[in-house]
Amino acid sequence: MAVAAEPRHLRFAVIGAGMAGILSAIKLTEAGYTDFTVYEKADRPGGTWRENTYPGLACDVPSHLYSYSFALTPDWTHRYSPGPEIQTYFERVARDHDLDAHARFGDEVTRCAFADGRWHLTTASGHHDEVDVVVAATGVLHHPHVPALEGLDDFDGAAFHSSRWDHDVAIDGARVGVVGTGSTAVQIVGAIVDEVAHLSLFQRTAQWIMPQENPAYSAEERAEFRDDPTQLRGLHEKLCEQFDVFANAIVHADSPEMQLVERLCREHLEDAVHDPVLRERLRPSYRAACKRLVVSGRFYDAIQRPNAELVTEPIERIEARGVRTRDGALHELDVLVLATGFQAHAFMRPLEVVGRDGHTLTDEWKQRPSAYLSISIPHFPNFFMLNGPNGPVGNFSLIDVAELQFGYVLQLVDRLRAGECREVSPTEEATAALEAERTEAAKGTIWMTGCRSWYLDDRGVPAVWPFSFDRFRAEMAGPDLAAYDLR
């Protein structure tokens, strides 16, 4: 292949200014790519940490791990720091790297179409752009799942999804209902139970809960991290190793590590819930970590408070005064919080993407989302996703994942710059072969051991990375060019 004497100038569009979009901007600049725009529909960066503001919001990945490897900070206040602190961290990193110089806030990309070797972008405001490379950093859990509960519009009180928390609604002294028992609901319940007059938790499925301690870092500890960056890096690396063990455990359903997780969850339930009847109502009928493992040191205590009630009767409908359950009881409420999760398989949609020769994302993903190594799609040249379909998700740091993915993407982009090719996309064959291997491996994981969760696709197969994290790291070390269609 002929290599151009002059490096090709490349213009980029990054879609989204959340964790992965900020990362992209920083890494592009570092690699010498300065012609790019970060499109963000909101008015500031932060992604999920900007959108979620519910009480109790935190990340259950330790803060010193849930940090960019190149922007470790000594300042985290807690082992698991609260959501607003995480949002402040992302805004600070974005500011430190002058994201504003490249960002277009308050404008949503609605269409990307590939024509004449370039991507043509259109935004909601009617703005047009033409770029060589698109990086979709649009997040995983983004579009709220609002269940079709009969009568929801008839409710006289305030009702909102957990990711659209209405801070104008007072919960102090109110009768609050929470629907759902995922990570979000569990954090909310622990945070609000002491404030509300009465709390009703509507549980459709019980959850296993890993115990969690959340000590604060003392001023001395933080000063030590500040004075000795090697300590800070050492902690980050140690946490990475610990989470590798966990990531590997969940793909080996019968591993000793998985058995340890299960034992810890069982013991937590036995030790923390005193009433044997309540304990059985809280006991899941499936294996721990089959659903996304919930981590909390407060939930069991909260649900045993005198003003808290666990409702396990199915919801029949919503009425003006509250929630009617199937046994005929009316649970009167002032506020109803739907902690009912997200449309996890939407990814960047409803963004309209039209690739080479008229291939549309709508058609390609009609059955289910799919991508080569979760990053790129056949017939969509020079279009890359971070935290795309079937990638590693779970109880570990998506920052680590995005950093590895972006390093991989840059290696492909560098080939465009070097003039080795003008278009790069994975072949259909490589994508199909990897997907077949992935699907087969996914069947042996803990996520497939008999529960309903947002991990499962339309076939009931976990839409996640089922191999070890080491394999992910090895794949991300460098592209196998045989898997690519280079033109």
In the complex, least distance from residue 358 CB atom to ligand NAP, rounded to whole angstroms:
35
Select the residue interacting with ligand NAP from 13, 25, 131, 185 (CB under 6 A): 185
Ranges within 189-228 binding ligand NAP (CB under 6 A)? 204-205
Q: Is 381 in the site for ligand NAP (CB under 6 A)?
A: no
Q: Is 303 in the site for ligand NAP (CB under 6 A)?
A: no
Select the residue interacting with ligand NAP from 141, 258, 265, 302 (CB under 6 A): 141
Q: Which residues are CB-contacts of 185 (< 8 A; sequence separation ≥ 6)?
A: 162, 178, 179, 201, 337, 339
Burial environment of residue 309 by CB neighbours within 10 A (0 to 12, 13 to 18, 19 or more): middle
Are the C-beta atoms of residues 114 and 134 closer than 8 Å to each other? no
Q: Is 268 in the site for ligand NAP (CB under 6 A)?
A: no
Helix (H) or strand (E) holding 177: strand 175-179
Q: Is 239 in the site for ligand NAP (CB under 6 A)?
A: no
- Written as one string, the DSSP assignment of 12-27 is EEEE--SHHHHHHHHH
List Cα–Cα distances, 351 to 138, 166, 425, in angstroms. Answer: 10, 27, 19
Q: Is 134 in the site for ligand NAP (CB under 6 A)?
A: no
Q: In angstroms, rounded to a whole number, what is the distance separating the alpha carbons of residues 228 and 327?
A: 61
Segment near ligand NAP (CB under 6 A), from 34-42, 100-108, 176-184, 259-267?
A: 176-184
In the complex, least distance from residue 200 CB atom to ligand NAP, rounded to whole angstroms:
12
CB atoms within 10 A of CB 106: 14
* Site map (CB under 6 A) of ligand NAP, residues 147-166, x = contact: x--------------x----
Segment near ligand NAP (CB under 6 A), from 98-106, 120-128, 339-347, 382-390?
A: 339-347
Select the residue interacting with ligand NAP from 181, 382, 405, 425 (CB under 6 A): 181
Ranges within 340-379 binding ligand NAP (CB under 6 A)? 340-342
**37 vs 63, beta carbon nearer ligand NAP:** 63
CB atoms within 10 A of CB 418: 13
Helix (H) or strand (E) holding 430: helix 428-442
**94 vs 179, beta carbon nearer ligand NAP:** 179
**210 vs 232, beta carbon nearer ligand NAP:** 210
| Lookup: tokens for 104 | 């277009």
In the complex, least distance from residue 123 CB atom to ligand NAP, rounded to whole angstroms:
28
Q: Is 53 in the site for ligand NAP (CB under 6 A)?
A: no
Would you give the DSSP letter of residue 8?
P
**201 vs 371, beta carbon nearer ligand NAP:** 201
The dihedral region occupied by 180, where left means phi > 0, alpha psi between -120 and 50, and beta the remainder, is left
List Cα–Cα distances, 383 to 248, 344, 408, in angstroms. Answer: 30, 21, 13
Can you tell me whether residue 147 is helix, strand or coil? Answer: coil
Segment near ligand NAP (CB under 6 A), from 21-29, 337-345, 409-417, 461-469?
A: 337-345
Segment near ligand NAP (CB under 6 A), from 1-9, 152-160, 184-192, 246-254?
A: 184-192
Q: Is 59 in the site for ligand NAP (CB under 6 A)?
A: yes
- Written as one string, the DSSP assignment of 323-367 is EEETTS-EEE-SEEEE---B-TT-TTTTSEEE-GGG-BHHHHTSS
The dihedral region occupied by 441, where left means phi > 0, alpha psi between -120 and 50, and beta the remainder, is alpha
Select the residue interacting with ligand NAP from 13, 14, 27, 60 (CB under 6 A): 60
Q: Is 464 in the site for ligand NAP (CB under 6 A)?
A: no
* Site map (CB under 6 A) of ligand NAP, residues 11-50, x = contact: ----------------------------------------
Q: Using CB under 6 A as the criterion, which residues of the chain lie in contact with ligand NAP when the complex forms? A: 58-61, 141, 147, 162, 179-185, 187, 204-205, 292, 315, 339-342, 452, 454
